[in-house]
Structure 1
Amino acid sequence: MLHTARFLCSVSAAFARLLRELRKLLIRASAFSPVVASLPKAAAASSPAAGVISAMTLPLRRKTPAAAASVVAIQKQVLVVAPPPTAVLVGAEVPNVVGGCSDDATEQQAESKKKKTAWAARRRPSRLVIPVADVDAGEVAAGWAAAAAASAKEADLKEVEGEGFRLASRAGLRHAMEDAYAVVTDKHGGDSELAFYGVFDGHGGRAAVDFVSERLARNVVSAVLAAGTETQGEPRSSSAEEEDAVSAAIRAAYLATDNELLAQHQGESGGACATTALVRGGHLYVAHVGDCRAVLSRDSTAAALTVDHTCAREEERERIEREGGYVCRSGSGVWRVQGRLAVSRAFGDGALKRWVVADPAVTRVALDARCEFLVIASDGLWDKVSNQEAVDAVSTSPATACRELVDMARHRGSRDDVTVMVVDLGRFVR
């Protein structure tokens, strides 16, 4: 009996649940039954010709009379489009349509188009007219138009012509002019073949470059003449000893000038690079510290007589590290001594003097008929112009080559000071 009663109770409970679910389904079906919207007569009359794009309505729940009225008003806004793109709002008076268009509708469209055009004209900014610079492709660097920058700095160009040399120089765009030069061609002790030429590139101000350009030429000429006087009258086994004496005198003059600079300008952080050429006894002696460069033209072929003293050179990095310093690459990819200076040899730079020495590299060349001229320039030129390009420019137009090379570097995007000197070697060839 007990089991039978439990079974009957469970059956009755299941039946009651079934009835509740059926009642819910009936209520939902009646609440969500689709409402068929009929078009007004005007729309129905025009729809066969115009064609209704969309007339599907959303299912509606039971609402109050006010809400129902608003729903009906919303449903009356059915979009009817004729073959020409003319929109008609159902519920308003529809004009007579001939061929899918009417005069009133055309006038309204024209008026609306005029209003939109006038509104767009008011909102549209004035047209910008940007002049096109007369610059070749690839000659704009770091946001500078090379031709415009060159014309703006035209007044800064300096040209010098002297005994056996020509020079052109222009300040860079980043700072005040820090290049300098020196020339000594006077007779000294009856030696008419002794001549000195130099180009200097300062950094950290003009103090160092002004001092070096004034003192180095004097010190080198004096040291070379003194070396010649000391060896005069003494027997020599070969000319190599005299040549070595001249190279040693030039090296001593470089170091003496650096010591004088440090003593006179203590505590200053600036420095200067230099490349110098000395002609004596039918030989050319080229000495340098830093990244100024000297290029010889021999049979119209470029031959570099210097190798830039930069931290990118392995032997320079090893020398600095042996002295307890370090070389690291900056964010721009340039190797720098102690993370500060890009050149590894220079005059001055007292704070880095333990590693940035003024001991020059000296190269000797015997002059002959094939030696035509020498190009000495600061790194502002060599960063943008190759050695052979410089030689070709001088060979093509020797009278204006210095100016052309300065302009070439500027047009290629150089923002550094540029100084170019061309020395005629033919006058020293025996």
Structure 2
Amino acid sequence: MVAEAEGIHQSIPVLDVQYRCITKGIEEIVDISAATAVAVASPPSSPGCLQVALEPDAVAVDVAALELDLRALNAIPNGPMEPLQFVPSFRSGSFADIGPRRYMEDEHIRIDDLSAHLGSLLSCPTPSAFYGVFDGHGDSDAAAYIKRHAIRFIFEDTDFPQASEPDKVFLDSVKNCVRKAFLLADLALADDCTISSSSGTTALMALVFGRLLLVANVGDCRAVLCRKGKAVEMSQDHRPIYAAERQRVEESGGYIDDGYLNGVLSVTRALGDWDMKMPRGSPSPLISEPEFRQAMLTEDDEFLIIGCDGIWDVMSSQCAVSIVRRGLRRHDDPGHSARELVKEALRLNTSDNLTAIVICLSSEDRSSPPSPCSQDQQQQPPRLRYCKSLSAEALCNLRSWMDNDGGGD
């Protein structure tokens, strides 16, 4: 977050307290930005017929990240919802790497079963889950503090609502509690004499209650939902290039210098950093007020990615979704996919610490559902997936093959 450039690479294990998940093994990352398709031809089954087999995702599909359809995603019912067939089933994995930095300042939380984790402390719509990523700057103290106390701030100190259905009243109450928790956490960092006033952290938290997904964000970590293969951004990066944030900063007396808030921070919202917020109670261009986005999950929603800015500095939301989706097709392991995402960011020369969480929203991979087929079709050899279109280079290679080899017999 703070403008700096350091250059020692070191990998470190993931620390997840009670909800630790250790992944084993990693497959080589393929550069999905390549626009060349390799055609593998088999002998024609009939005159003039050429069978072309392509590896899945061999040709990258350049799709811009989808904007939120707020009217659809935010359609939270006023009263109890009618029961639907789709019920999310959460399983997650994570991976973190120090990257080229000298110190690791990222922290994260994964709780796939929030009700079981909190026990009698919480009565909420089920299934329920809680995830968080905290990207520290200045040092790691603020991020580590928020990780240690996040559960207390949200579910113990804010009179968290008790409900059996995620209706609009419940949603509004949860938002109020989370907003209050962020402000309490910010003040707690100011009061803790063991934490430097220059220590701060971004914070992104995702809570799921039944089919309701709520994301609260301060800073430039990002949550991205995969909906039928398309990236739906569930948070807005709080950076000076975000027009609304720039306007708010300038109206509060701050300024942007070379892309940094007051020439120091690359984010416009954060917890801590009290050397920029003092004296307490005075207006500050750096705030800890979270922004919210929510969605009602459906069977079209495959997984959620939460990552720190070390990921998003070097790849788009759609690129990250494509990497994870392809990995889940191969091994159906969210922890492995999180590691693949981090390794790809390292290959793309990210300059920051790296943390990624992948949350599958079903007990099985739904990224490529089987299509029904007849008995005759079942007896035929399985057909590989194919792309809807080929790149210009691939078409050129295919035409050359047909002219030189395919037409010789």
What is the identity, as a one-letter code, of the residue corresponding to 1:182? I
Which whole-Å CA distance do the structure 2 matches of 1:376 and 1:256 have between them?
23
Deviations 1:363-421 (A, max 9, x none): 11111111111000000011112111211122111322111111111111112100010
Identify which of 377, 381, 396 aligns with 2:307: 377
Which whole-Å CA distance do the structure 2 matches of 1:223 and 1:279 have between them?
20
Higher helix proportion, which one? Answer: 1
Where does structure 2 lack aligned partners over 5 or more consecutive residues? 23-89, 278-283, 365-409
Which whole-Å CA distance do the structure 1 matches of 2:233 and 2:242 have between them?
16
Does structure 1 conserve the Cα–Cα contact (< 8 Å) formed by 2:323 and 2:341? yes
Which residue is equivalent to 1:277? 206
The structure showing larger relative contact order (alpha-carbon pairs under 8 Å, at least 6 residues apart) is 2
Q: Alpha-carbon deviation of 1:267?
A: 5.2
Q: Alpha-carbon deviation of 1:342?
A: 1.0
Does structure 2 conserve the Cα–Cα contact (< 8 Å) formed by 1:274 and 1:289? yes
Does structure 1 conserve the Cα–Cα contact (< 8 Å) formed by 2:114 and 2:130? no
Which whole-Å CA distance do the structure 1 matches of 2:137 and 2:184 have between them?
20
Q: Alpha-carbon deviation of 1:290?
A: 0.5
Identify which of 138, 156, 173 aligns with 1:245: 173
Which residue is equivalent to 1:415? 351
- When Rg is computed on C-alpha atoms for both structures, the one with the higher figure is 1
CA RMSD of aligned residues (A): 2.7
Does structure 1 conserve the Cα–Cα contact (< 8 Å) formed by 2:91 and 2:362? no
Which residue is equivalent to 1:346? 270
Alignment CA distance shift 1:320-1:371 (3 Å): same
The alignment status of 1:179 with 2:106, answered yes or no, reads yes
Q: Alpha-carbon deviation of 1:313?
A: 1.6
**Stretches of 4+ moved more than 4 A in 1?**
none
Q: Alpha-carbon deviation of 1:314?
A: 1.9
Alignment CA distance shift 1:327-1:143 (3 Å): closer
Which residue is equivalent to 1:203? 137
After TM superposition, list the pairs within 5 Å mapping 1:320-399 onto structure 2: 320-329=249-258, 335-353=259-277, 354-398=284-328, 399=333
The alignment status of 1:305 with 2:234, answered yes or no, reads yes
Where does structure 1 lack aligned partners over 5 or more consecutive residues? 1-141, 330-334
| Count of residue correspondences | 269
Q: Alpha-carbon deviation of 1:157?
A: 5.1
Alignment CA distance shift 1:216-1:291 (3 Å): same
Which whole-Å CA distance do the structure 2 matches of 1:364 and 1:263 have between them?
32
Does structure 2 conserve the Cα–Cα contact (< 8 Å) formed by 1:182 and 1:217? no
TM-score (norm 2): 0.61
TM-score (norm 1): 0.58
Does structure 2 conserve the Cα–Cα contact (< 8 Å) formed by 1:286 and 1:362? yes
Q: SS of 1:390's equivalent?
A: helix
Does structure 1 conserve the Cα–Cα contact (< 8 Å) formed by 2:6 and 2:101? no
What is the identity, as a one-letter code, of the residue corresponding to 2:179? R
Does structure 2 conserve the Cα–Cα contact (< 8 Å) formed by 1:196 and 1:221? no
Deviations 1:220-253 (A, max 9, x none): 23367x3424xx69xx9x9322211111111111
Q: Percent of aligned positions with the same letter in both sequences?
A: 32
Alignment CA distance shift 1:267-1:197 (3 Å): closer
Which residue is equivalent to 1:215? 149
Which residue is equivalent to 1:228? 161
Alignment CA distance shift 1:358-1:427 (3 Å): farther
Which residue is equivalent to 1:290? 219
Which residue is equivalent to 1:71? none
Alignment CA distance shift 1:291-1:358 (3 Å): same
Greater alpha carbon shift after TM alignment, 243-252 vs 262-271: 262-271
Which residue is equivalent to 2:367? none
Deviations 1:104-126 (A, max 9, x none): xxxxxxxxxxxxxxxxxxxxxxx
Q: SS of 1:168's equivalent?
A: strand
Alignment CA distance shift 1:424-1:143 (3 Å): closer
Q: Alpha-carbon deviation of 1:182?
A: 1.3
